[in-house]
Amino acid sequence: MSENSERWINWDELKGLSDDQIEEKAKKILSIMTLEEKLYQMSGDWTLAEGGPKMQKRYNAEPIPAGEDKKLGIPGVLFSDGPRGVVIGSSTCFPVSMARGASWDLELEEKIGDVIGIEAKVHGANYFGGVCINLLRHPAWGRAQETYGEDTYHLGAFGVALLKGVQKHIMACAKHYACNSIENTRFEVDVSIDERTLREVYLPHFKQCVDAGVASIMNAYNKVNGKYCGHNPHLLRDILKKDWNFKGFVITDFAWGIRNGALALNAGVDIEMPFEWRMAPNKMIGYMNEGRFTEELIDEGVLRILRQKLKFAHKEDPKFYSMDKIACKEHTELALEAARKSIVLLKNKNSILPLNRNEIKQIAIFGALANTPNVGDHGSSRVYPPYVITPLEGIKNIVGNAINIIFNEGEDLEVAKELANNSDVSIIIAGYTHLDEGEGSGTRDRTGDRKSLRLYENDEKLILAVASVNENCIVVLEGGGPIIVEPWKNKVSAILMSWYPGMEGGTALGEILFGDINPSAKLPAVFPKSDDQLPYFDRTTTQIEYGYYHGYKLMDKEGYEPAFPFGFGLSYTTFSYDDLRIDKHTINSDGEIQVSIDVSNTGSMTGEEVVQMYVGYKKPSVDRPVKDLKGFTKVLLTPGEMKTLNLKLRAEDLAYYDVDKKEWVIEKIEYIIYVGPSSRKEDLLTTTFNVS
């Protein structure tokens, strides 16, 4: 390579360039690069011998580089993982994505993305690999906590909100593309899926992120219809790059994301991470000399990489990104707000909550998790916050010296019963930890995917024992996804789902228990009564078929009654829904309807309500769900206050994928609009319209 000055790239000139100027600049850079320089852009900078020990010592302790070219002055992709915060160093730890999905608060999620982008850049990263939008097909999936829920519309909306925040600062990556929702056999499982189910159920959330300008997509480990995702041209080239016109680059999941560099490049992979391995330049030159691909295919991939590097080379004033931003007060207060808005009140018999400080002398708190920092999986998503407020600490901080707090792990049931019997209120913290669900290995014979959706037997026995002697029994659940509560649900007075609530989770829990904060969260995934209400799941399988139905849509289709429906969550106040109306009753195939409803706070406490809009289909020519989520919004109301909420529905949102025509079709039929506080039929007001 010549080192004359015309080949050096001045990245300081990039600020403020338009997309067309970026494209021109990227093509100019590409034109002066040698084949070896191009190929060096397409793999991680570490060798396996160099990077392996680093990753084993502590995963992502520093940004993981790919494609840095010091001679040309091209920066590398500097990878930081997520999604509950920045994995590098010590960072703000937010509630897990499933918890944030329960907030139904897109403005909050974009703020979280903004903080993550800032902290990642402070730590030296320019790329965030934490926009995890895999669909929760079954709650046993070990990495359920890393995604937002079971519904494709909801998933896409949250993915877009997060990436918008992150991409104010650095590149974002949406993952794992596609059909990735079994952990234990993720490297080899082959998912059989028909084209309509793929396009309508498992891909729309990725398309939402592509349409929003996500810089990168990460391919999944698993196979789809016989081909590894990283070797799958139908997923990567036909759909992602051609049908969706994706302008960013495709990056592999780490180490086993591809098995062969030639197959990967032909399929549409642009960067292998994290090592220089199967797409190492010497291997790729050998493949090209064998006629496996042409240099034009390399150019296409490198142009995508350069395009994004140019676009994100300069963002805001570098002085803004200082170490004092890491877990600063503003950021930890946002983590607290997220926890407050993520904890779901599932049961509140006789309005036992909020607790009245003036009427309680002693509270007994049971369960080892009450005194355990429990912020989620210890796999690739692990964040190292400077502190974690446990439930016990949070409750003690709220009550101070006004109430006597007794803590007992609950191992001896007779002792627990005696303490509960002598206390005004009993609170049990039960659920899971990183040892029970998550990525990779654990203990307790529950590695990766969960074996059971129930609590451990000793937790269930503790709940029943305490509830038998104290009617004021409150259960707080921790975990990454839905938990079956049927064996004890009717024995306790209140149930709260706190998920893995982040570094300030204990504070938020204490505030909610005593009414300083009114809970507003709603479930992003249905809580079943039993396993037979769910799709087939086998964590050891290497072959599985993914059908069209799961979650609340499967419940609707089969007429199942869940323990708690999708979109459900209680408040300390009450809301009424009135006067559902639409601005037109007939639209054409490119039309739009405005849906309006009056929502009132009919209780005595200020609260937030999540208003949900679903659509149903009358006499469709193909099988359709009873109803699909198509919109939601959140409103804050004081006691007695009423507001009119407006939601938009586009005709294109009603389309199904016609496999024979290979196109999206909007049927000219009658449609039903449902609006209400949850997906439960009796909660919803309805009206109809037609597409002509």
Residues catalogued as catalytic = 253
Amino acid in the structure at residue 410: G
Q: For 281-385, where are the E strands, in sequence order?
A: 344-348, 362-366
Report which secondary-structure segment, H or E, holds 79: strand 77-80
Pick the closest to residue 648 from 583, 589, 692 (CA basis): 583
- Rounded Cα distance between 536 and 550, Å, is 10
- Rounded Cα distance between 462 and 445, Å, is 21
- Are 345 and 339 a contacting pair, CB within 8 Å? no
Report which secondary-structure segment, H or E, holds 299: helix 295-311
- Rounded Cα distance between 262 and 255, Å, is 16
Q: How far is CA 633 from the centre of its chain?
A: 18
Amino acid in the structure at residue 232: N
Pick the closest to residue 350 from 188, 471, 467, 506 (CA basis): 471
Q: How far is CA 124 from the centre of its chain?
A: 24
- Are 198 and 148 a contacting pair, CB within 8 Å? no
Q: Is 104 helix (H, G, I), strand (E, B) or coil?
A: coil
Residue 670 backbone class (left: φ over 0; alpha: ψ -120 to 50; beta: rest) = beta
Residue 237 backbone class (left: φ over 0; alpha: ψ -120 to 50; beta: rest) = alpha
Which residues are registered as beta bridge partners of 618? 670
- Are 134 and 534 a contacting pair, CB within 8 Å? no
Residues 6 or more apart whose CB falls under 8 angstroms from that of 562 comprise 526, 527, 528, 529, 533, 552, 555
Helices (H), 475-574: 505-513, 551-558
Residues 6 or more apart whose CB falls under 8 angstroms from that of 621 comprise 667
- Rounded Cα distance between 435 and 379, Å, is 10
- Rounded Cα distance between 191 and 183, Å, is 13
- Rounded Cα distance between 293 and 297, Å, is 7
Residues 6 or more apart whose CB falls under 8 angstroms from that of 110 comprise 161, 162, 164, 165
3-state secondary structure 11-69: HHHCCCCCHHHHHHHHHHHHHCCCHHHHHHCCEECECHHHHHHHHHHCCCCCCEEECCE
- Rounded Cα distance between 435 and 431, Å, is 11
Q: Is the peptide bond before 49 cis (omega within 30 degrees of 0)?
A: no
Q: For 208-304, where are the E strands, in sequence order?
A: 216-219, 223-224, 227-228, 249-252
- Rounded Cα distance between 360 and 404, Å, is 9
Give phi and psi for 662, each to the nearest 5.
55, 45
Tokens of 361: 């002398």
Residues 6 or more apart whose CB falls under 8 angstroms from that of 617 comprise 624, 625, 654, 667, 669, 671, 672
Torsion angle in degrees (nearest 10) through CA of 403, 408, 412, 414 = 0
